[in-house]
Structure 1
Amino acid sequence: MSGPSPSSFPAFDVSKSDRTDALTVVGLTVTYRIRGRDREVLQDVSFRVRRGEAYGLVGESGCGKSTVAMAALRYLARNGKVKAGRVLIAGADVHKLGADALRSMRANAVSMVYQDPARALNPSLTIARQVSEAFEAAGATRDEAMQRTPQMLARVRIAEPERVMDSYPHQLSGGMQQRVVIAMALASNPALLILDEPTTGLDATVEAEVLDLVAQLREELGTAVLFISHNLAVIGRMCERVGVLYAGKLVEEGATQDVFARPRHPYTVGLLRCLPTAGRSKDSERLDTIAGTLPSPGSVTQGCIYADRCRLADDRCRREAPPPYRLNAAHGDQMSRCHYHERAIELPRASAQALPRPLDGVPPRRPASVMLHAQKLSKTFHVSGAALRALDDVSIDLASGETLGLVGESGSGKTTLARLMLGLLTPDAGGVLELDGAPLAARVTRRSDEQVKSLQTVFQNPDSALNRAHSVKRLIGRALSRLAGLRGAAIDARLATLTAAVRLPERYLGSRTRQLSGGLKQRVAIARAFAGEPRVVVCDEPTSALDVSVQAAILNLLADLQRERGVSYVFISHNLHVVRYLSDRIAVLYLGRLLEIGPAATVFDGPQHPYTEALLSSVPTLDGEHGRNRIRLSGDLPSAASPPSGCVFHTRCPRKLGAICEQQDPPFLDAGGGTGDAAPPGGAHRIRCHIPVDTLRTLQSASRDMMSNATGNVTHDGAGDGAANAPENAGRNE
């Protein structure tokens, strides 16, 4: 093997760390006491985050990412301890601080945003009280804290902050809860901000706004960021450097551009190949996956910890633990713990990319029969005496064997529509629901056993869907008994098949869900949903809590089940790359209204409704281009209690024409695509907009050309003659 020897480069030198480093981790080894034994969950981890720098930490669930953050803040659970190593924040050894000094550091120097906002918020306190307490902890008086609270909530893009301040956490969506937690973390203007999956529950536009906010804070205050995420595109946009953790070891590190452009460890290569990217769909190719599962903590005592899952591994890898090879890269040093780091990019794929084609070369036509029919569905909630129209006159058909993707910001009505289909909410009078042409009762309690079995769901938050008192085996087994009618040995056999399909290791069957990571909990929820061989599965953010390797396996599983059994999906997700990969058609919701619907390829490739255009421009990519060239929507998301007249999007639209948009509800326009015999039951591509389709196509094509040719920030004006003469209505590309 050619390349530098590991001894050619100096080891991590703590003496170089001073107060220019916001965070320094040196030789960190952490153990957890489990069943009477100390098991290492972190092994000799070393890295530094400089002042004003953003450092990304990636890896699968269970690799130790969150444990690094907990050890840095001395928040380890009672059975955890730092066995070796040091953690320094601004040069101060965290584990040598006294109680008062530690409390002061947590209040003023460092803040953390956790993965699950519901567990970070106190359910018995209002949002106003919780956010104001964060200001008070940083030294503000109670009156000052209450005055600054609505400003901070507005800063993280919360519409009507005064109303939200009077709410309790359970009254907010998952995305809204996360924005509140981020507002609390920013209250002290910390020198080090630790973000543990901070955008998991956020839609694309709000995620972009939050990331902008974090970037702005770094620029203004020199704040350093430790960004923990399984979203590699977010890391690519936000972080100058990245570290890749596997089974508690840092296996690769370097400038983000270098690591993503030419990864030097097979594990990093595998993670990047798992991502659904533009141009890929379930009908053209399977996503690559990483075979096997993470080893149990402390189980690998010899050789490379990744050897059992690596397709480059040989006897040397199983015999000798690779040292940290350090190499020169385009943007600085790059480290890899792989004997064959130069060949990592040549890693063979786990399976063939292309799907098998029929002998005649013609892909099978999708069934055109309507399985689920929803017509004129509306839902009005009454909150504090005010009528809140969460869904307004939405009609959608779902075909057998089809995936319908629902996209839109938090509060757009996606989950409300899904719950109406499932019978968890009752629609307003005049709505129609049918399954296979037969009426479907509005409430699930009035549906037949067969109808209940036919419609199943995977919820966004597995903690809310799984009983914490039951073991994994009992949770899935009860579903097999109730929905599939299985007994005894048949349950065990089917249980083994389901858990293997969703990559849930057998060792977790006896565990309670409170003992599992977020990704493992979601796998349990997916297995339970498929226990009864459903015909329609409503997937509400089913992969938001999963790392990219498990996400790829789940998406492949969903696609395989659909091909084999003709199951249909209503797929809700903020991750538009995932939606594009799995969906046959896309429906775009905004403030309870359907603004666009059509085949996935035509919706994503354009022309698009201006709202869809803004959503797609906000999606981060590995190279960070969308972060620099996105369309920023002006103004706040209006309240569903008092929606705008005319087009509901006109208050934020970058292509607003003028008075017609303010006064008249736009019609649905035929944008072409999906016509003829292959047309889906719901019809072709339709856009609800006053701007003619040909004009939208021309303007959006010109905008994309401008973006691709731009060398800096770009500004483009709105559509049509009216928008061209009204600069106050212009959208802004950044």
Structure 2
Amino acid sequence: MAVIEARGLSIDYRIGKVWQNAIRDVALRIEPLQIHGLVGESGSGKSTLGLALMRYLASNARIKQGEILFEGHDLVPLSDVDMRQIWGHSISLVPQDPLSALNPAFTIGEQMAEVTRLHRGFSQSEAWQHATEMLRQVKIADPEQVLKRYPHQLSGGMQQRVMIAMALSTEPRLLILDEPTTALDVTTQAVILDLFRELILTHKAAALYVSHDLGTVAQLCDYVTVLYGGEIMESAPVEALYTQPRHPYTYGLLASLPSAAHGQNTRLHTIPGVAPSLAERSHACVFADRCPIAIDKCFTEKPPLETTTDGRTIRCWRWEDIANGEAQLEQQQEINTESAPPRATYVLRAQGIRKYFGNRTFLDRLLRRKTSYVHAVDNASLRVRGRSTLGLVGESGSGKTTLARAIVALEPADTGEIELCEVPISLRLHERKRQTLRDLQMVFQNPNDTLNPYQTIGQALARTIRRLSEGRLNRQEIEQRVINLLQSVRLTPEYMTRYPHELSGGEKQRIAIARAFAMNPALVVADEPTSSLDVSVQAVVLNLLKDLRAQHGVSYLFISHDLEVISYLADWIVVMYLGEIVEEGTNEQVYNVPSHPYTEALLSAIPLPDPTLRRQRIRLDGDIPSARDVPKGCRFHTRCPRKIGDICEREAPPLQDAGDGHLIRCHIPVDELVQLQQTEPERQSHG
């Protein structure tokens, strides 16, 4: 018997006075001990379906039709009182944001003890003892002390572990995991994913894992369902779905993923158009408008959800044509023939950049205490060649964004030297010349932070051009420049009259990129510009950045926590840890041996979007230390899996040259690193 099963499930949301259909005719089963992945773009209905399976919907939502069978019993007709018993004993939720789910007014121990006292009848001492044991199970060191802390005193990874421990405290039969690793660094995410599989098997539970990250789903799940427009497109065992997708949408998602294997001059597969809103969803095939192999029937008739001979379910009129090879889904990868190799000259040289943040309170001044400094960036140097991309990577708190903001003078560096196009420039923004502002532009992570909601797109772009051109362009010339900019980022002139709220996330980011190119810059600093985008939209933006580099000869300083994006886009890679550069080299050098132990851990933590591949796993213990209290010696020694002794704690490591400019800051000799790191991903059966 399935732990949970949805049959013909449809869900509506009331928007104004109209009921809009969000989930249509969904059929889904989760078997005992199974981890079932649910994937799709933003707006596809993943979270709605996940919450619906536990009958936990918003006040403006209703179950229009269908059944939700939990261990054979239909949850749909149950009262809220009955459902509270099930939520307490049988079904638990691990949300995306643990801080919003934890009560800031109570300690971790008080909140965990309350769960087992209410739902399992434990005494206070029993509840406290059980909470201690659960924290040990989720690999939290010193659980007795953690129980006494408040949520804000824990890191994001620790908060998420507490949520997992709390969810498992009642021994549920079903866990709903709603994007639980989205906000975590790749190293922390790897540890959490290991915990999920281990604990779900230990507690003999089943799980629904909701995610947009195809890599984590491939590595964690046994079975996968692909959702689009509120409908199931395809469901299959994880290996079958990833190696032989039968639906055009599934194929499009997988083919959009960037990796080093694509090569520097190839384009990513893209899915044209955008996902439909609730009001725009077709009553025929919901994916037809974006499908590369759609036929007339797809626009007039709704395909049924069919079960194939290999056990998968699929909703597509042409799945048999895809299976037998009559319908070709592969998109011809276009070689960017205009792309030129990096020039020898450097468009940016930053030398000895240091940025500390002081934090001296009124009480500190009154008691004449010494100022406490956050060592955000310490003596960092980097160079960017013309017509090239430098990728800057590291965990949250590594200092990569602060270094980028120091270069553009949004956070002026305390010390250091910067040259732009071989001309020294000031560390202070107000001292920089107008030409410097034209040559050095920035694209931020969230385009909403840079777009005025009260200005049209045309007005926003025109204002930037007007200010940077210093009156040298008349109104007609500015308008033509705006049109050219929109066309360069694959948007039509009609977008000039639109406001930011009328654009999708990907369109907003393209506008932000267009504004950065308003006056043909020499260097664009891009701070996580694709981190909030769906994989299909991300592919469009990454292709666009490559095209613009080829057309305009621009260089990028590209910041990202996604090493697969960096491997696809960057020529040169710099790795930062706790304010310090620990490794730099070409793309090929950094992604192969030897590498710094920190880089090695980052690479091993990347969730490969192939369920048949496994990397040798290196898991880092603990969180990145506070930049206010930087460890002596090697800054990485507190977490390093290759620590060789006291020298790592006492002495700062030397910067070794591994050859051809490949620099590694480590006490371990390069030859020894090569011997230690000679490993390859291994292929094995999933599960």
TM-score by length of 1: 0.79
CA distance change for structure 1 residues 103 and 504 in 2, over 3 Å: closer, same or farther?
Answer: farther
Structure 1 counterpart of 2:333, from 344, 353, 356: 353
Q: Could you tell me how far apart the structure 2 residues matched to 1:146 and 1:482 are?
A: 62
Tell me which residue corresponds to 1:24: 5
> In the TM superposition, what are the counterparts of 1:162-311 in structure 2 within 5 Å?
176-177=155-156, 180-181=159-160, 183-189=162-168, 190-281=172-263, 283-311=264-292
Q: Encode CA deviations 1:631-682: one digit per residue, 9 max, x unaligned.
A: 2234554333333332222333333333333332222222224xxxxxxxxx
Structure 1 counterpart of 2:564, from 549, 571, 577: 577
Q: CA deviation at 1:629?
A: 2.4
Whether 1:365 and 2:356 are equivalent positions in the alignment is no
Whether the 8 Å contact between 1:453 and 1:483 is mirrored in structure 2 is no
Whether the 8 Å contact between 1:114 and 1:195 is mirrored in structure 2 is yes
Q: Could you tell me how far apart the structure 1 residues matched to 2:175 and 2:476 are?
A: 51
Q: Could you tell me how far apart the structure 2 residues matched to 1:419 and 1:145 are?
A: 46
CA distance change for structure 1 residues 35 and 495 in 2, over 3 Å: closer, same or farther?
Answer: farther
Tell me which residue corresponds to 1:436: 421
Q: Encode CA deviations 1:12-32: one digit per residue, 9 max, x unaligned.
A: xxxxxx5x51x3222121223
Q: CA deviation at 1:86?
A: 2.7
Tell me which residue corresponds to 1:537: 524
CA distance change for structure 1 residues 138 and 79 in 2, over 3 Å: closer, same or farther?
Answer: same
Q: Encode CA deviations 1:591-646: one digit per residue, 9 max, x unaligned.
A: 22211001111111222112211211111113346656212234554333333332
- Name the SS of the counterpart of 1:226 in structure 2: strand
Q: CA deviation at 1:223?
A: 2.8
> In the TM superposition, what are the counterparts of 1:478-557 in structure 2 within 5 Å?
479-485=460-466, 494=482, 498=486, 501=489, 520-521=504-505, 523-533=507-517, 534-557=521-544
Whether the 8 Å contact between 1:462 and 1:522 is mirrored in structure 2 is no
Q: Could you tell me how far apart the structure 1 residues matched to 2:479 and 2:129 are?
A: 56
Q: Which moved more, 1:383-392 or 1:582-591?
A: 383-392
Q: CA deviation at 1:272?
A: 1.3
Q: Encode CA deviations 1:368-412: one digit per residue, 9 max, x unaligned.
A: 332232221223334586433232211112223221111222222
Q: Could you tell me how far apart the structure 2 residues matched to 1:250 and 1:508 are?
A: 36
Q: Which moved more, 1:337-346 or 1:269-278?
A: 337-346
- One-letter amino acid of the counterpart of residue 545, structure 1: S
Whether 1:600 and 2:576 are equivalent positions in the alignment is no
CA distance change for structure 1 residues 69 and 711 in 2, over 3 Å: closer, same or farther?
Answer: closer
Gaps of 5+ in 2: 361-370, 468-474
Q: CA deviation at 1:492?
A: 10
- One-letter amino acid of the counterpart of residue 693, structure 1: V
CA distance change for structure 1 residues 431 and 619 in 2, over 3 Å: closer, same or farther?
Answer: same
Q: Could you tell me how far apart the structure 2 residues matched to 1:291 and 1:154 are?
A: 45
Tell me which residue corresponds to 1:676: none
Tell me which residue corresponds to 2:453: 470
Tell me which residue corresponds to 1:679: none
CA distance change for structure 1 residues 695 and 207 in 2, over 3 Å: closer, same or farther?
Answer: same
Whether the 8 Å contact between 1:31 and 1:41 is mirrored in structure 2 is yes
CA distance change for structure 1 residues 507 and 163 in 2, over 3 Å: closer, same or farther?
Answer: farther
- One-letter amino acid of the counterpart of residue 220, structure 2: M
Q: Which moved more, 1:484-493 or 1:597-606?
A: 484-493
Q: Encode CA deviations 1:187-208: one digit per residue, 9 max, x unaligned.
A: 1315433233222232221110
Q: CA deviation at 1:420?
A: 1.9
> In the TM superposition, what are the counterparts of 1:641-680 in structure 2 within 5 Å?
641-673=628-660
Tell me which residue corresponds to 1:633: 620
Whether the 8 Å contact between 2:613 and 2:684 is mirrored in structure 1 is no
- One-letter amino acid of the counterpart of residue 226, structure 2: V
Tell me which residue corresponds to 2:664: 687
Q: Which moved more, 1:569-578 or 1:483-492?
A: 483-492
Whether 1:565 and 2:552 are equivalent positions in the alignment is yes
Tell me which residue corresponds to 2:321: 343
Tell me which residue corresponds to 1:66: 47
- One-letter amino acid of the counterpart of residue 383, structure 2: D
Q: Could you tell me how far apart the structure 2 residues matched to 1:314 and 1:374 are?
A: 55
Structure 2 counterpart of 1:96, from 61, 66, 77: 77
Structure 1 counterpart of 2:411, from 392, 412, 425: 425
Q: Could you tell me how far apart the structure 2 residues matched to 1:181 and 1:90 are?
A: 28
- Name the SS of the counterpart of 2:308 in structure 1: strand
Q: Could you tell me how far apart the structure 1 residues matched to 2:124 and 2:374 are?
A: 32
Whether 1:136 and 2:120 are equivalent positions in the alignment is no
CA distance change for structure 1 residues 393 and 32 in 2, over 3 Å: closer, same or farther?
Answer: same
- One-letter amino acid of the counterpart of residue 419, structure 2: E
TM-score by length of 2: 0.84
Structure 1 counterpart of 2:390, from 397, 400, 404: 404
Q: CA deviation at 1:529?
A: 4.3
Q: CA deviation at 1:334?
A: 0.8
Q: Could you tell me how far apart the structure 1 residues matched to 2:216 and 2:151 are?
A: 29
Q: CA deviation at 1:507?
A: 10
Q: Encode CA deviations 1:685-705: one digit per residue, 9 max, x unaligned.
A: 11112222233223322x33x
Q: Could you tell me how far apart the structure 1 residues matched to 2:379 and 2:140 are?
A: 27
Q: Could you tell me how far apart the structure 2 residues matched to 1:530 and 1:161 are?
A: 53
Q: Could you tell me how far apart the structure 1 residues matched to 2:161 and 2:328 are?
A: 41
Tell me which residue corresponds to 2:472: none
Q: Could you tell me how far apart the structure 2 residues matched to 1:42 and 1:504 are?
A: 32
- Name the SS of the counterpart of 1:234 in structure 2: helix
Tell me which residue corresponds to 1:389: 375
Whether the 8 Å contact between 1:456 and 1:538 is mirrored in structure 2 is yes
Q: Encode CA deviations 1:568-610: one digit per residue, 9 max, x unaligned.
A: 2222222211110011111111222211001111111222112
Q: Could you tell me how far apart the structure 2 residues matched to 1:521 and 1:308 are?
A: 19
- One-letter amino acid of the counterpart of residue 700, structure 1: Q
C-alpha RMSD of the superposition: 4.0
CA distance change for structure 1 residues 615 and 215 in 2, over 3 Å: closer, same or farther?
Answer: same
Q: CA deviation at 1:482?
A: 3.0
CA distance change for structure 1 residues 270 and 373 in 2, over 3 Å: closer, same or farther?
Answer: same
CA distance change for structure 1 residues 387 and 356 in 2, over 3 Å: closer, same or farther?
Answer: closer
Q: Which moved more, 1:73-82 or 1:136-145?
A: 136-145
Tell me which residue corresponds to 2:303: 322
Whether the 8 Å contact between 1:502 and 1:554 is mirrored in structure 2 is no
- Name the SS of the counterpart of 2:312 in structure 1: strand
Q: Could you tell me how far apart the structure 2 residues matched to 1:625 and 1:159 are?
A: 36
- One-letter amino acid of the counterpart of residue 53, structure 2: A
Q: Could you tell me how far apart the structure 1 residues matched to 2:15 and 2:487 are?
A: 24
Q: CA deviation at 1:286?
A: 0.5
Q: Which moved more, 1:500-509 or 1:626-635?
A: 500-509
Whether the 8 Å contact between 1:456 and 1:529 is mirrored in structure 2 is no
Whether the 8 Å contact between 2:43 and 2:277 is mirrored in structure 1 is no
Q: Which moved more, 1:349-358 or 1:46-55?
A: 349-358
CA distance change for structure 1 residues 85 and 632 in 2, over 3 Å: closer, same or farther?
Answer: same
Q: Could you tell me how far apart the structure 2 residues matched to 1:441 and 1:587 are?
A: 23
